[in-house]
Amino acid sequence: MKKILYLTDLYYHAKGRNYYEEDLFLSGILKDHFDIVLCNPKNSSSFENDVDLIIFRNTGSVLNFKEVYDSFRERVKTNNLKTFNDFTGKADMCGKQYLLDLTLDGYL
């Protein structure tokens, strides 16, 4: 079974939304099709090379952990890690393309 590293901050507080509910819902669906690990981006490095795909979601502003985020982006590039995000940092990393991709591939 393919493995997904789902990076999120379940404790991130946002006005008007409970982001953790989205992530628990989505990861709950994904677990039926993949081995999935939920992890805070600050702790992801030890898991990154053991998965087939990394999804980066709902972490709040990466400005709160810029050095960690920059290091993660460098590891993605250097280690050729497969992600669903383009890491421009705009509007949920420019949309939820991974949901469309998984749907088109018949997983959702």
Which strand (E) or helix (H) includes residue 56?
strand 53-56
pLDDT in tens, 74-89: 999 999 999 987 666 5
Specify the pairing of strand 3-7 against strand 53-56.
Answer: parallel
- DSSP-derived letter for residue 51 is -
What was the pLDDT predicted at 12?
83
- Give me 79's structure tokens: 């280690």
pLDDT in tens, 22-75: 899 999 999 999 999 999 989 999 999 999 999 988 776 666 778 888 898 899
Give the three-class secondary structure for 67: helix
What was the pLDDT predicted at 31?
95
What was the pLDDT predicted at 36?
96
